[in-house]
Amino acid sequence: MVMIAVATRSLVFLALALIYHSIAVLAFDITRNDNLAVYWGQDSAGNQKQLSTYCADATIDNVILAFLYIFNGTGGEPVIDFANICNQYDDSVFPGTALANCSFMASQIEACQAKGKIVTLSLGGGTGQVGLSSTTVAQNFANKIWNEFLGGSSTTRPFGSAVLDGVDLDIESGSPNHYSAFVNRIRSHASGASKKYYVTAAPQCPFPDANIGAALNAASFDAVFVQFYNNYCGLDQPDDYNFNTWDDWARSGSANPDIKVYIGAAASANAAGEGYVDIGTLENYATNGQDTFDSFGGVMLWDASEAYTNHRYDKAIKNAMTANAARSKVEERKSKGHLESTYPAEKPFLHVQL
């Protein structure tokens, strides 16, 4: 005889919450606090796989393609580089430009999207040749990004028929001016679109960020992936860790009062010069963020190849956030009395004999 006993209602509802979560994530939901965003494209670990590999399971919610690193290249076109997967040197380019034709990636992008993930394009990077010299230049650049990567049309679309879900600004050099005009023009294009487009940024943790801080105050962003590595306020410096500062800004200084703030983390010791923490430490930071800050949106990792090499660091942190979010949902329902009426008091145990 095998006796299976569910001793408490909480366990039953924890299971139900987990089932609910698995259903809910079929479509990306920016309002959640357990989202995982991961950069892909720069082959940090030296063993980067095709994009579709990282969309094979439910771990990653937002894949960020890195990078479009030159704004105004040959022929007036931007330049993209995805290391060993697609670049201007190893792949064909559009005539008269240095813009790589990565149209073979279209089916992979669309496959990721079909699984409820969003795929966005990051502009900038640590070695980017970036900058917008005027409002007009910023608006024209936004028009180009919209037409070549998002919901517009152009004869030079690097991903062919695939329509990305938005843009990310990882601006780490150049002038900080006019990025709000860029964002506002993207928003203008997206306002009449048939699907939602997202605009995010990846500021450094020192507040305010020197490169994108002004734009964050002036234009509406959906999320910020704050880089808590390679900085004095990194995850390895708990006394200087300043998520609370970013939360204060999200609630009182951001142009979008509903903006989500993510913990940006290095996915392995090799992914950053400093700031990497083991998975247990990151889990503590993340679950505390979920429990403490209304603005908390999840975790961002740099990058996919490092996370996979590091014993699926991405899956570990996603699982921790998912479980904590489910626990919080159960506790919230209990506090409102929703759980008490579900099972009769005289039947607290479920026994099955086999």
pLDDT value, residue 332: 78
pLDDT value, residue 15: 53
Cβ proximity of 66 and 42 under 8 Å: yes
pLDDT value, residue 124: 98
**Res. 349: pLDDT tops 70:** no
Percent of the chain with pLDDT over 70: 88
Q: Around Cβ 61, how many Cβ atoms within 10 Å? A: 22
pLDDT bracket for residue 288 (50, 70, 90): very high
| Cα–Cα dist 231/302, whole Å | 14
pLDDT tens figures, 91-124: 999 999 999 999 999 999 999 999 999 999 999 9
pLDDT tens figures, 204-232: 999 999 999 999 999 999 999 999 999 99
pLDDT value, residue 329: 86
Please state which of the ranges 183-192, 279-288, 344-353 shows the lowest mean pLDDT.
Answer: 344-353
- The mean pLDDT value for 269-294 works out to 98
pLDDT bracket for residue 333 (50, 70, 90): confident
The domain ranges of the chain are 3-353
Q: Is 316 exposed, middle or buried (0-12, 13-18, 19+ CB in 10 A)?
A: middle
> Which residue, among 242, 347, 327, 342, has the nearest Cα to 285 in the 3D structure?
242
Query: What is the overall mean pLDDT for the chain?
Result: 91
DSSP codes of every residue in 205-269: SSSS-TTTHHHHHHS--SEEEEE-SSSTTSTT-TTT--HHHHHHHHHHT-SSTT-EEEEEEESST
pLDDT tens figures, 305-314: 999 999 999 9
β-pair type (296-302, 3-6): unpaired
What's the predicted TM-score (pTM) here?
0.89
Q: Around Cβ 315, how many Cβ atoms within 10 Å? A: 17
pLDDT tens figures, 78-95: 999 999 999 999 999 999
pLDDT value, residue 16: 45
pLDDT tens figures, 20-67: 444 444 699 999 999 999 999 999 999 999 999 999 999 999 999 999
**Res. 168: pLDDT tops 50:** yes
Cβ proximity of 153 and 190 under 8 Å: no
pLDDT value, residue 20: 47
Which amino acid does the sequence have at 86?
C
- The mean pLDDT value for 191-207 works out to 97
- CATH of segment(s) 3-353: 3.20.20.80
- The mean pLDDT value for 276-301 works out to 99
pLDDT tens figures, 231-263: 999 999 999 999 999 999 999 999 999 999 999
Q: Which residues are catalytic?
A: 172
pLDDT value, residue 7: 42
Helix (H, G, I), strand (E, B) or coil at 321: helix
pLDDT value, residue 334: 77
Cβ proximity of 30 and 223 under 8 Å: yes
Cβ proximity of 10 and 334 under 8 Å: yes
Q: Around Cβ 113, how many Cβ atoms within 10 Å? A: 19
Angle, in degrees to the nearest 10, between helices 279-292 and 313-335: 30
- The mean pLDDT value for 131-137 works out to 99
Better-scored residue on pLDDT, 18 or 210: 210
